[in-house]
Each structure stands twice: as C-alpha cells, then as structure tokens.
C-alpha cells in the first residue's frame, strides 16, 4: 500500500542537505551517463561494420597467385605462375560444398579509358561470371547484371557502376542498349548499379565496368589466364576449411609444393567477419566493466553518505525505536532513501545519455551521401536500457544495505543518551 507520508519523509531527508545530496548523486548520474554513451557508441560502431559488409557474402574467400617460396619437381623457388580456366574445372570436380565459384580478371583503368560521345572518365574494369552477383549483391538502378548467356556467347555487353553512369549519361537518361567505349572497345550497356557493401574488390563497385569473364579474356588477349578466384561455401559449412581445400587443388594443378604457404595467396571474409565479431564482443564486455565499475564507485559514495546520515540521525532513530518502530521499518526507511537518491540521479543520467545519442544520431543521419562515417544508429536497445536500469536499482539497494544494518543496530537507550 502506498504511504504518502513515508515518501514525503524520505524526500525531506534527502533534500535536507541539498549540496551533499547533489554531489553524492552526481557519481551515480555520471556513471549511468557514461555507460549509456559508451553502449550507444559501441553499438553504432558495430552497426557501421555490419552495414559495411551487408550484401557481401560473409562466407566467401578469394585467391590470387604469388611467387613460390619452395622449389618443387625441378622448378626453382620465386617462380611466377598464373591460374587458368582448367583450375576452375578441377576445383568444381574435386572440392565439395562450394556454393559459388567465379574467376576474376582485373583491368586497371588508364586515364580517360571509358568514353561516350564527348564525355569520359577513368574507371576500373572487372571480368566475372554471372554468379558473382551471389557474392556481391547488387542494387540496380537500370537493367540487369550479366547472365550465363552473356558469358557463354562472349557477348560485348557491360554492367556499369552508378558513378560511371553519372559521368557518361545525362541525369534520368535510360542507358540500356546504349554503347560506351572502354579501353578502345565498344560495349552495350545492359545494367547500372553497384554493390550493396563497402567492401572493394578492384576498387569501388560504383566506379567499375563489369564485363562477362569470357569477353574480357578475349578482348584483353588474356588467353585462359585468371587473375583471381572468388568462392563461397555452402550454408553452415566452414569457409576456412573450403579455403584450404581450394588451395590444395590449386597447388596440385600448378606444380606448387604442398608446404608452400606463399604461392597461393588468399583472404577469407568469414575469418575477417569472425574477428570483428569477437572484437565487438570484447568491446561490449569492456564497456560494461567500465560502466558498472563507475556506477559501483557512485554507489559507494551514496553508501558513505548514508552512513553519515545514519550517524547524524542516531537520536531520531532511537526515538522511533522507543516508540515501537520495528527493525524492518528502520531498514526499509534507509534502503528507500538510498534507492530514491540513486534512482533519481541514475534515471536523469540515462535520459540525458539517450538524448545526447539521439542528437548525434540525427546529425550523422543528415550528413550528405558519400560521407565517410563509419558509425550508424548510435542508440541503445530497449532491453539494454532495461538491464542498465536493473543494475542501477540493484546498486541503490546495495548502497543502502550497510547503512540500514548500522541503523538497525542502534539501541534506543544508547541513542537517547547521546548528545
């Protein structure tokens, strides 16, 4: 049952010495404020990282050739080698659990290498299979991505990035079916768009001209050479294991020593993503340790002040005990005073922290497109706010336990005889 007189007494006790109460509560206020801001910032960094890889297959790995580091079968070390079309067939036949496999050719753009009419620009060229879109998902502005027929029939078509379109075409102009000249060869535009992620393979996808792999091999006189391979593992299959299996096949196909760790270079998006996941887990744990530690320091300050308050009110408590107040009434009074002081300060800090995060989140969201900001949605989740509130209340109760126990031990006769 709600007792108004009791809560008025608690409030009068807290506000009796305003300066002391304010400085005591500031420790709790600052602790929950810092915890809120740290949690929101950490969450924003994690959201920014996840958005950066969104749309890029996180179970993918890439392979490229490097100089050999060991002699093998009469071949010297430091030998240069290249991957070939036959490697694709060998991998598909010998390695299971591959979901997507695409060769890649890179054509770094010379100055003003892409032209349409009197407009030109410098852009990178990428040759891939049609299934590469399963590795790097696309956001389409016009048309479509290259397909299997384009690759099989060696069609002179291209898929261009958003920035390529903006440089070569007028705003709102339909580019489908129009021709552009790239490195001296004309191609028909079949689509416009870019990858959804911020991961860049051979440059930003917005600045790329994507060709069917077979077309680029022939147009650039590459024979059957492959510059790199992109592969993804089947769902729930370890991409790192797939990476090792593909490396084994490539070494066997190209007379590379099995123990040569340099010849077949690779990087694993799954491994990188796992590293980031553990990193942000560590950051969250550190934030909670620092935040809860700061709150604990504030709660200790509240406990010390409550001990002083109990000491100052020894005679008052003695009188109440003499008039019949039960021990649980005294304990309840002290605990409630500690809880109210902690809760008011803490919830003010929580509200201010949420407000600060909301202001900065609004500033970030209103920044112009293309701003290099690696932080998104710097807010704390509702369940995290509830957890912080629960810890706050727990700290308030803990801060009042020792003072309440001291108050309960006060004997009426000794208290009344104290000057």
317-357: pLDDT as tens digits: 666 666 666 766 666 777 777 777 777 888 888 888 888 88
What the block records as the tokens of 412 is 């009426």
Can you list the alpha helix ranges (DSSP code H) found in 54-110? 85-94
Q: Closest Cα partner for 83 from 98, 101, 100, 110? A: 101
Q: What is the rounded CA–CA span in Å between residue 182 and residue 179?
A: 10
Q: What is the rounded CA–CA span in Å between residue 130 and residue 247?
A: 23
Lowest mean pLDDT among 129-133, 198-202, 204-208: 198-202
The model's pLDDT over 201-248, given as tens digits with 9 standing for 90+, comes to 777 888 899 999 999 999 888 889 999 999 999 888 888 899 999 999
Lowest mean pLDDT among 5-9, 145-149, 258-262: 5-9
For residues 340, 346, 352, 356, the Cα torsion angle rounded to the nearest 10 degrees is -170
Report whether 21 contacts 15 (CB < 8 A). yes
**Residue 41: band (very low, low, confident or very high) from pLDDT cuts 50, 70, 90:** confident
Q: Which residue would you say has higher pLDDT here, 128 or 401? A: 128
- Above 70 in pLDDT, residue 127? yes
Residues written for the chain: 419
> pLDDT value at position 354?
85
The model's pLDDT over 251-282, given as tens digits with 9 standing for 90+, comes to 999 999 999 999 999 988 877 777 877 888 88
> pLDDT value at position 1?
47
> pLDDT value at position 59?
85
Domain boundaries, the chain: 4-54+274-417, 106-226
């Amino acid at each position: 049952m709600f007792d108004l007189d009791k809560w008025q007494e608690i409030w009068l006790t807290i506000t009796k010495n305003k300066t002391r109460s304010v400085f005591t509560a500031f420790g709790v206020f600052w602790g929950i404020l810092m915890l809120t801001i740290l949690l929101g910032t950490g969450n924003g960094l994690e959201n920014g990282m996840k958005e950066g890889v969104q749309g890029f297959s996180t179970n993918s790995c890439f392979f490229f050739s490097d100089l050999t580091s060991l002699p093998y079968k009469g071949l010297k070390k430091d030998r240069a080698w290249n991957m070939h079309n036959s490697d694709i067939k060998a991998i598909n036949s010998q390695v299971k659990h591959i979901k997507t496999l695409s060769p890649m050719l890179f054509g770094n753009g010379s100055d003003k290498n892409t032209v349409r009419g009197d407009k030109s620009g410098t852009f990178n060229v990428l040759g891939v299979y049609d299934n590469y879109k399963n590795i790097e998902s696309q956001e389409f502005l016009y048309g479509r991505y290259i397909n299997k027929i384009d690759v099989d029939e060696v069609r002179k078509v291209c898929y261009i990035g958003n920035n390529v379109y903006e440089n070569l075409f007028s705003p709102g102009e339909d580019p489908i079916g129009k021709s552009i000249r790239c490195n001296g060869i004309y191609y028909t535009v079949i689509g416009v768009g870019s990858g959804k992620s911020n991961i860049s393979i051979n440059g930003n996808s917005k600045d790329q001209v994507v060709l069917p792999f077979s077309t680029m091999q022939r147009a650039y006189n590459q024979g059957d050479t492959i510059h790199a391979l992109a592969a993804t593992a089947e769902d729930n299959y370890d991409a790192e294991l797939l990476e090792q299996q593909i490396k084994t096949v490539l070494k066997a196909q190209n007379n590379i020593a099995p123990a040569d760790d340099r010849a077949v270079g690779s990087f694993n998006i799954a491994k990188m993503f796992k590293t980031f996941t553990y990193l942000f887990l560590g950051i969250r744990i550190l934030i909670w340790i620092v935040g809860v530690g700061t709150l604990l320091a504030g709660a200790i300050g509240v406990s010390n002040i409550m001990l002083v308050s109990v000491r100052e009110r020894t005679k008052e408590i003695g009188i109440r005990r003499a008039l019949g107040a039960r021990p649980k009434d005294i304990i309840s009074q002290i605990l409630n005073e500690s809880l109210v002081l902690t809760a008011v300060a803490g919830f003010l800090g929580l509200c201010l922290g949420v407000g600060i995060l909301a202001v900065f989140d609004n500033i970030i969201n209103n920044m112009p497109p293309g701003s290099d900001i690696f932080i998104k949605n710097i807010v704390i989740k509702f369940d995290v706010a509830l957890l912080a509130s629960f810890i706050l209340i727990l700290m308030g109760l803990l801060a009042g336990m020792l003072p309440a126990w001291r108050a309960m031990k006060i004997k009426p006769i000794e208290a009344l005889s104290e000057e």
